[in-house]
Structure 1
Amino acid sequence: MASGTTRGTTHLHFDSHTFDPRPRYPLVATAKRYWHPDFYSEDADALTLIFAHGTGFHKEHWEPTLEYVYETLARTGGVKLREAWSIDCPNHGDAAVINEEELQWGYEDLFAWEEYARSLHDFLTGQGTGIPVDFSTRRLVGIGHSMGALSLMLAGMHQPKLTFSALILVDPMIFFKPPSREDAAMTVDLAGGAPKGEISGPVERKPLNHFNLDLHSKSGIPGFLRSLLSQEAACYRDGLGYSRGYKLLKYLCQIVPVHFIYGAVDDYLPGFVKEDVLENACDGKYASVARVPDAGHLVPQMQPRGLADAIFVILELESNRTSTPLQQQQPYQSRL
């Protein structure tokens, strides 16, 4: 088990874990646990943050944002945090390396986002070995970007029951109509993502031009190269996760606070799509919505500090949440 501290100003402690759900599920998961000894609470109401990444990224890409969350906590207080966990999709990051052989058995053409959901569910419900935590005793806040947001939502569809105290969906890829295969291919091109054909080596990624690379490099890992790029393309081909998430939202918002954080720039997701999700898919019952200035769909890479500010506001809300039924609470409109 590797351990160390992050490179940011708060120097978060971390250790690395490998979760093995076999034979119940064939794909191993890799994760990092983060904490700071000065801001570590074992109180029953302390929050444990669960991070899930988007297609083409990895668990470490959350580190700059998480550093800023703890930086704000050190400055202002107001939130009890126990620790944070960031979990690789089974065909991304370190997990992709471990699962490389298994991924050749039926996952090369299409890797459904529900596979990530299944992996997250098994991880958080202890359906395997390697994780020294009983998450059923924790107050969990799920934080997911893009594919990761949908995967956290879908994880709750599996048994045994998985309960989040709140979900924070960062520019989730949710649409009204399931995209066709042609639409999915267009999404790959828009994201500057993995080519549709065979890949023999690293490729240049268009979104790199928009990243704060100094902050993103704090993970210490060339994130785009840690994914098996053919597997990344397989994730883009999933046309079911988008619509299943849309249909699930109206039920999810009735049982758990669902918070949305969008980039203020409507690039990959048009503004009318986001409004449709909030007003129709959620039936207006979402817990809050915020916009991060100077960021598009790739919020964690483009504006990690702005994203951390938005997340911290939500963590404060959740720390002080009353038992008032969700249906009677008015959505909070952030001015971020």
Structure 2
Amino acid sequence: MPANMTSTYPFEPSPPWTTVNPKPFLPFRTRYGSEELEAPSLPSPRNEPFNDNYIVSTHLVPAGCPRLTPDIPLPVVPKFTINAAERKRDIQQLSTELRERQERFVQGKLGGERSEKPLWNCVNRYVKRVQDGRKGLTLLFTHANGFPKEIWEATLRYLLSSPTASLIDEVWSWEAVQHGDAALVNETNLSGIFDWRDNARDIAHFLSYYLPEHTSSKILPTHLQLLPETIRESRKTKGFSSRSLVAVGHSFGGCSSILAAVNFPALFSSIILIDPVAISGLHYSHSSNLIRLNSAALARRERWPSREEALRSFKASPFFRAWHPDTLQLYVTYGLCEDSQGGVKLKMSALHEALVFVDHIGSNEAWELLEKVDERIELRWIVPGKPEDKGLAGEQATRVRVWRRPANSSNVVFHFAGHLIPHESPVELAQEISAFLEKKYGRQSRAYL
């Protein structure tokens, strides 16, 4: 099956590799024990115009239950010290502890029952004010590690004000359990260990159990309602009755989208993969990169006297220097919250960011299972091409990755951007997404909808 789009990188076969023995999804339960879930309140509720044609609102849905991981205490983070050598030693020691704990979990040596503590995912909904009665597109955006769901809004500002917006009825922006507002809701119930596959399960859980049956301009409740069992079961094999779903996943979110699509293919029409962290288990450079990312996360500053001071600090940082100013402002507005000391802090703690980085099984499984994504689902890869950043584990690994599932797949290289494409180049990203949607779902292709 040919793809609609052309490719920058020509076909590259996968080299020999050793399986990581991917496991099937753990089935969901719709209740935690015998008790109904107590519905929490939203930390940052929104119900407001997004632009002239779309309204944004914020909602909560229960995360999948049970979790793949046990409920264990959070590791103790060493107190900050101005002694640089001592600080570096403490961070390295904690980083090693996290990696060793994760490895024991992977080997089945950690012990403990799968956690059933209630967790929630937070989602933003961007819905067209006036529906035209035709079956349009539903987009689902899934973020990279460390960033709130609103990080996509720079891209969405351009996409939803473009001519392509006529094809889009509704957009949902996803937030994993330890990110953004979801992190605030789940603060007391988060475990000291995390498995990427749970984020993929949570996405599938939302799409199968809670995404409303029809797109409507009506106001939805803060806590989305559980769908009837007949609809939930039908979606497993037949997909949506009145939606065409396009997933847009970046990095960690891209891996999660891959795993969700492998296990629930009927839900997806196409997936736009923005440099997903899908890496072969044999790629040792990825392991060293994860160690670096894990240590960098643990060393992050978490508090500032004010948002203004935080913004000044970010602008002075080499990490944030390449960001588009709109994206950086979104991070300051939605990635931070007030703290008890009168300043502001990160909604997602540095520790939880590190706990996400330290897992690699989801990344390895996503790489291996890519070839099993249903060929009906078109894949469009968007990957970085800066001289110093040609994709995770290097350019050759990227060239192989984008052809793991050759049929109905294409790729484009952003030579002006690094791994953080949505943060650095939201205008160009919106244009690329727009071009893909027009090509596949435009007026001349309405039969796809």
**TM-score class normalised by the smaller sequence:** 0.7 to 0.9
Q: What does residue 65 of structure 1 align with?
A: 155
Give identity over the alignment, percent.
25
Q: What does residue 165 of structure 1 align with?
A: 269
Q: What does residue 232 of structure 1 align with?
A: 353
How far has the Cα of 1:302 moved from its partner? 0.3
Q: Distance in 2 between matches of 1:191 and 1:24?
A: 26
Q: Distance in 2 between matches of 1:120 and 1:101?
A: 22
1:119-159 superposed Cα distances (whole Å, 9 cap, x missing partner): 11111111699325978332110111000011011123446
2:123 maps to amino acid: A
2:195 maps to amino acid: A
1:158-307 → structure 2 map (5 Å cutoff) = 158=263, 162-178=266-282, 183-184=286-287, 186-187=289-290, 189=292, 193-195=296-298, 201=303, 206-218=318-330, 220-222=333-335, 225-252=346-373, 254-265=375-386, 267=389, 268-269=391-392, 270-279=394-403, 281-282=404-405, 284-307=406-429
Q: What does residue 258 of structure 2 align with?
A: 153
2:127 maps to amino acid: W
Higher relative contact order (CA 8 A, sep 6+): 2
Q: Distance in 2 between matches of 1:122 and 1:318?
A: 27
1:24-79 superposed Cα distances (whole Å, 9 cap, x missing partner): 663211011013426x44422x1000010000111100001011111222xxx585
1:1-12 → structure 2 map (5 Å cutoff) = 2-6=46-50, 12=54
How far has the Cα of 1:277 moved from its partner? 1.2
The 3 A distance-change label for structure 1 pair 10 and 309 is farther
Give the 3-state SS of the residue equivalent to 1:125 in structure 2: helix
Q: Distance in 2 between matches of 1:11 and 1:218?
A: 21
2:376 maps to amino acid: I
Q: Distance in 2 between matches of 1:95 and 1:18?
A: 8
Question: Where do 5+ consecutive residues of structure 1 fail to align?
Answer: 325-336
How far has the Cα of 1:183 moved from its partner? 4.4
How far has the Cα of 1:187 moved from its partner? 3.0
Q: Distance in 1 between matches of 2:411 and 2:249?
A: 14
The structure having more radius of gyration, on CA atoms, is 2
1:49-88 → structure 2 map (5 Å cutoff) = 49-73=139-163, 77=164, 79-88=166-175
Q: Distance in 1 between matches of 2:377 and 2:328?
A: 31
Q: Distance in 2 between matches of 1:32 and 1:3?
A: 10
1:120 maps to amino acid: I
1:139-191 superposed Cα distances (whole Å, 9 cap, x missing partner): 110111000011011123446x65101111011112223556x8445335359
1:231 maps to amino acid: H
TM-score by length of 1: 0.80
Q: What does residue 114 of structure 1 align with?
A: 197
How far has the Cα of 1:258 moved from its partner? 1.1
The 3 A distance-change label for structure 1 pair 271 and 41 is farther
How far has the Cα of 1:301 moved from its partner? 0.3
1:177-213 superposed Cα distances (whole Å, 9 cap, x missing partner): 3556x8445335359841279x875797752121113
* Contact 1:167/1:258 (<8 A) preserved: yes
Q: Distance in 1 between matches of 2:290 and 2:365?
A: 18
The 3 A distance-change label for structure 1 pair 28 and 61 is same
The 3 A distance-change label for structure 1 pair 222 and 41 is same
Q: Distance in 1 between matches of 2:54 and 2:295?
A: 32
Moved over 6 A (4+): 202-205
The 3 A distance-change label for structure 1 pair 312 and 132 is farther
Q: Distance in 1 between matches of 2:283 and 2:347?
A: 27
Q: Aligned to 1:34, which of 126, 129, 145?
A: 126
Q: Distance in 2 between matches of 1:113 and 1:236?
A: 9
* Contact 1:47/1:80 (<8 A) preserved: yes
Question: Where do 5+ consecutive residues of structure 2 fail to align?
Answer: 1-44, 68-117, 212-221, 228-238, 305-312, 337-344
CA RMSD of superposed structures (Å): 3.2
How far has the Cα of 1:319 moved from its partner? 0.5
Give the 3-state SS of the residue equivalent to 1:194 in structure 2: helix
The 3 A distance-change label for structure 1 pair 21 and 195 is closer
The 3 A distance-change label for structure 1 pair 125 and 42 is farther
How far has the Cα of 1:294 moved from its partner? 1.6
Q: Distance in 2 between matches of 1:127 and 1:37?
A: 21
Q: Distance in 2 between matches of 1:121 and 1:275?
A: 28
Q: What does residue 8 of structure 2 align with?
A: none
Q: What does residue 95 of structure 1 align with?
A: 182
Q: What does residue 136 of structure 1 align with?
A: 240
1:118 maps to amino acid: R
Give the 3-state SS of the residue equivalent to 1:254 in structure 2: coil
2:170 maps to amino acid: E
How far has the Cα of 1:252 moved from its partner? 0.8
Larger deviation: 124-133 or 168-177?
124-133
Give the 3-state SS of the residue equivalent to 1:274 in structure 2: helix
TM-score by length of 2: 0.61
Matched, 1:14 2:56: yes
The 3 A distance-change label for structure 1 pair 94 and 189 is same
Q: What does residue 330 of structure 1 align with?
A: none
